[in-house]
Structure 1
Amino acid sequence: MRITQGTFSYLPDLDDEQITAQVRYCLDNNWPLSVEFTDDPHPRNFLWEMWELPMFDMNDASAVLFEINRCREAHPDHYVRLNGYDRTLGRQTTALSFIVNRPAVEPGFRLEREEGPDRQVRYALHAYATDSPEGERYRK
């Protein structure tokens, strides 16, 4: 199963040259960038761990790619994403977000169904990755 979150999630993974082009687009639009990572990509888990500090004053696309690669090296079995923030409205608005690293094996999710009173049916997603403890979820 392939996790589909972010702008380019239905496309094949972007290579470093394509990522650099997207970084340049963000910098051309004066969007600060940040790098985040997680081993639990549940759709409702939108608060991923921040890698270093957001790059508010960064103007060099190669420096941003350097930080992405540092995060990839430190967390090779995690999801890593790049976020670009549009601050023109006076608040932090995510303008662009896409995954730049994935674990080699993505176990996926299962749909859990629970029947309640009065024929109510509730559904929940369960990430197979969370069956293992944090830090060991993608090691096989």
Structure 2
Amino acid sequence: MKITQGTFSFLPPLTDEEIVAQIGYALDQGWACSVEYTDDPHPRNTYWEMWGLPMFDLHDAAGVMMEVNECRKTYPRHYIKVNAFDSVRGFETMRLSFMVNRPEEEHGFRLERQDDRNRVQRYALRTYATDRPAGERY
């Protein structure tokens, strides 16, 4: 099962050249790039670990790509994404976010039924990755 999060998530994985092109586009728009990683890709896990600091003063795609490659070397079996943040007053939001690395094997999710009061059935998504402790998931 392929985790689909962020822009381009339904497309085949981007090549490094395509990643550089997307980073270049973001920088041309004046957006600041950052790199994040996680081993818990649950859709509600919005707080991924940040690789370094956001690169507000960087204007070269090669510099962002260098950080992506360093993160890939350190965490080869994690999900890694690039974010592009628009700091213009009134927007101040993430404009672009896309995956640049995935584990070789993606475990997917299971649907768990939960019994609630008055025989109400509720459902929750659980990722198989969290069956193991952080750092040992992939």
TM-score range (shorter-chain normalised) is over 0.9
TM-score by length of 1: 0.95
Instruction: Give, in angstroms, the shift of residue 26 of structure 1.
Output: 0.4
1:34 is aligned to 34
User: How many residues are matched?
Assistant: 138
Deviation at 1:40, TM superposition (A): 0.3
Deviation at 1:86, TM superposition (A): 1.0
- Counterpart Cα distance in 1 of 2:41 and 2:95: 19
More deviation in 24-33 or 111-120? Answer: 111-120
Q: Which residue of 2 aligns with 1:88?
A: 88
The match for 1:65 is: 65
Which whole-Å CA distance do the structure 1 matches of 2:92 and 2:27 have between them? 15
Q: Percent identity, please.
A: 59
Query: Is the partner of 2:96 in helix, strand or coil?
Result: strand
**Counterpart of 2:13?**
13
Distance 2:17 2:85 in 1: 21
| Separation in 1, partners of 2:107, 2:8 | 20
What 5-or-longer segments of structure 2 have no aligned partner? none
> Counterpart of 2:3?
3
2:46 match:
46
Cα distance between partner residues in 2 of 1:30 and 1:91: 12
Task: Name the CA distance, whole Å, in 2 between partners of 1:103 and 1:82.
Answer: 16
| 1:94 CA drift (Å) | 0.5
1:118 deviates by 2.7
Hey, what's the Cα distance between the residues in 1 that align with 2:90 and 2:64? 24
Worse-superposed segment, 86-95 or 120-129: 86-95
Whole-angstrom distance in 2 between the partners of 1:113 and 1:86: 40
